[in-house]
Structure 1
Amino acid sequence: MRRTSRRLADGREIIYFDDTADAPERTAVDTRDLPEQAPHSEVRRDPLTGEWVGIAAHRQTRTYKPPADLCPLCPTSPGRPTEVPESSYDVVVFENRFPSFAESVPDVASTVDGMPMVARGPGRGRCEVVCFTSDHNSSFGALTPHRVRTVVDVWADRTEAFAKLPGVEQVFPFENRGEEIGVTLSHPHGQIYGYPFVTPKTSRMLEVAAEYLAAHGTHVLGDVLAAERAAGSRIVASSEHWTAFVPSAARWPVEVHVVPHRQVPDLPALSDVERDDFAVLYLEVLRRLDGLYNKPLPYIAAWHQAPVRTGRDLAWLHLEVFSVLRTADKLKYLAGSESGMAVWINDTAPEQVAERLRSI
């Protein structure tokens, strides 16, 4: 794989990852007249929960559902410059033009004015867009195993790069797919967030893992994985190095966890054979998900990996894929119990969903 770093017109970094032998040298220049970036992200700590909240008001003006012929993630064509100056690409990564967190944000006061109990800080981190293919009408599930392996290597590359940035505490690669999820750009792409804090979900998972280890001497996800493989009723697909299953306490109407058989903290720690194996298994999982309702399934695919500096011995890398679609034409809304109390009520039985996915 060839890696080429360039700069866009406003100074943002763009990196081309080429996995085809005849890919051209990446020398195209961004000809757009773009204003200098001036993100003003900050974070504020909720005094009632202790959780950090990002404030990024500049994102209100970000691109929203453009027509296909104006997609900013497609390659540049004559008379139509985009975020990608080249006329084609394999996989490309660039800094988000409307980032939730950025390296250049200004300092802010340490507390909110008049609220000394509300800690405040700059939203210092990094946000990148990952385009999986230059084909606007494709999808992650339509990629070849070779291309998926490239994407895994890109995720690992960016995880290592983010971890070296001052202030970044956690790296989160993810993909949003489908308007029902809230996607505003339909081109096949994902994102990577470098948070200036450890996220609430990861913090809680590490706490539980520590408690379980102290009580049982083993890792909770390792025991869950072994039990799921033994039971078999919630398994969707498996391979030599990975197992995909519907979790027994699934929150979402469609939810699949893809877990490596070996405990590793993050994507860079995966071996070559584990990366190759994931590419094949994940494509099978996505094919089954799209077959559930005989149409492209809207989903979020979220990588859970260790924070940069804490809990690395307790973390167990895994991917969670879930959808808000509870039937072919009905959405699962996060209403009173879920949004108000964070108590999830699932309208589907995990065992039945797993059986349906296996049958596809």
Structure 2
Amino acid sequence: METELKEFSHKRFNPLTGEWVLVSPHRSKRPWQGQQEETNTETRPSHDPSCYLCAGNTRANGEKNPDYKETFVFVNDFSALQENTPSFKVEEGLFKAESESGICKVVCFSPDHSKSLADMQITAIEKVVKLWQQEFRDLGSNPKINYVQIFENKGSIMGCSNPHPHGQIWSQNTLPNEVVKKDNNQKTYFASKGVSLLTDYLNQELRENERIIYQNENFVILIPFWAVWPYETMIIPKTHQVDILSLDSKQTTDFAHAISVITGKYDRLFNTSFPYSSGIHQAPTNGLNNDHWHWHMSFYPPLLRSATVKKFMVGYEMFASPQRDITAESAAAILKDL
């Protein structure tokens, strides 16, 4: 099986989403004459007077940021979700719509404009994790909020409009598409096996030890067997936990360490500040029994062969199914050695 997976086209199943990804390992040998992205070699200052996220600066809505020294969170000045949206539904034949409300926040990881998570001390990343926990707790306690999505877009190639180290939190009334898939599949597995899906998956990965990049006492970083993006990774807690509020002090430190490790490896992969989108999937805050959930953090980086060659989701990927050339196993070996 190992030889077949390395040499022949095949599909891999994602049990979390119930979807397949096409893997074409033989295509990684083909010559590349596609688009070359520009590499950002700009050296940023620790404080940029024109940056609306830097401490003490004024944002677009006229509010002034405090002179924060660690982390800083505020309601997004241009929120995608509105808290005061009235409740409504539209059902006219095949035209169907309904209201969606929520609260969107911006989380500044550091006052230092020049840094990213890869550059920050583990103690500083711990403070980011604790802020995520605080916001998850506070937003989730709102009866109108049933899901809290924590995420980061890093790099202009990922649509990030400001290089200041920051992420976002979108919380909303209903469960978004990806979460609905993972909720249903984890619930079905837990009801059948009596154990979380990711507990069994992680145990199998630990036994094979082929896609694991790093582990400490409480966390494992691996490239999922079903990964779509070339260097996609997942951080999984070794203990079955439904959300990040379950972390104790030592686990919080180990989680921060894992984030530091993978973001540092990414930056060393192509000797560039590595772009990605990352997000934490965890149990909804809907007050239901969500014991089937096993929270995890995923990183989806677009770079493929170098700092200037990007993986595009086009053609077959848009109209049929996700597809990748480099296998999860070879990508894991590369990242593990860094």
Are 1:147 and 2:116 counterparts? no
Partner of 1:47: none
Deviation at 1:220, TM superposition (A): 1.4
Amino acid at match of 1:261: K
Deviation at 1:213, TM superposition (A): 2.8
Instruction: Name which of 68, 73, 80 aligns with 1:93.
Output: 73
Partner of 1:356: 334
Which structure 2 residues correspond to residues 30-109 of structure 1 after superposition, within 5 A? 68-76=48-56, 84-105=64-85, 107=86, 109=88
Structure 2 contact 54–65 (Cα < 8 Å) conserved: no
In 2, Cα distance between equivalents of 1:175 and 1:243: 20
Runs of 4+ that moved beyond 4 A: 80-84, 114-117
In 1, Cα distance between equivalents of 2:225 and 2:76: 36
TM-score by length of structure 1 reads 0.76
Pair 1:83–1:311, CA change in 2 (3 A): farther
Offset from partner CA, 1:166-187 (integer Å, 9 cap, x none): 3211001111100111111111
In 2, Cα distance between equivalents of 1:236 and 1:179: 26
Which structure 2 residues correspond to residues 228-247 of structure 1 after superposition, within 5 A? 228-247=205-224
In 2, Cα distance between equivalents of 1:282 and 1:157: 18
Amino acid at match of 1:249: W
Higher RCO, Cα 8 Å, sep 6+: 2
Unaligned runs of 5+ in 2: 1-44
Offset from partner CA, 1:12-58 (integer Å, 9 cap, x none): xxxxxxxxxxxxxxxxxxxxxxxxxxxxxxxxxxxxxxxxxxxxxxx
Partner of 1:340: 319
Partner of 2:200: 223
What CA RMSD, in Å, does the superposition of the two structures yield over aligned residues?
A: 2.1
- The alignment partner of 2:297 has SS state of strand
In 1, Cα distance between equivalents of 2:61 and 2:120: 25
In 2, Cα distance between equivalents of 1:87 and 1:247: 41
In 2, Cα distance between equivalents of 1:158 and 1:253: 31
In 2, Cα distance between equivalents of 1:217 and 1:85: 48
- The alignment partner of 1:133 has SS state of coil
Are 1:296 and 2:276 counterparts? no
- The alignment partner of 2:264 has SS state of helix
Offset from partner CA, 1:85-142 (integer Å, 9 cap, x none): 323431000000000112223x254216x55751311x31100000011111111111
Partner of 1:331: 310
In 2, Cα distance between equivalents of 1:199 and 1:86: 33
Deviation at 1:190, TM superposition (A): 0.2
Deviation at 1:206, TM superposition (A): 2.0
In 2, Cα distance between equivalents of 1:83 and 1:90: 19
Are 1:206 and 2:188 counterparts? no
In 1, Cα distance between equivalents of 2:56 and 2:205: 47
TM-score by length of structure 2 reads 0.80
Structure 1 contact 242–258 (Cα < 8 Å) conserved: yes
Q: Percent identity?
A: 26
Unaligned runs of 5+ in 1: 1-66
Structure 2 contact 213–332 (Cα < 8 Å) conserved: yes
Partner of 2:299: 321
Partner of 1:180: 157
Amino acid at match of 2:83: E
Pair 1:189–1:263, CA change in 2 (3 A): same
Structure 1 contact 91–132 (Cα < 8 Å) conserved: yes
In 2, Cα distance between equivalents of 1:154 and 1:214: 33
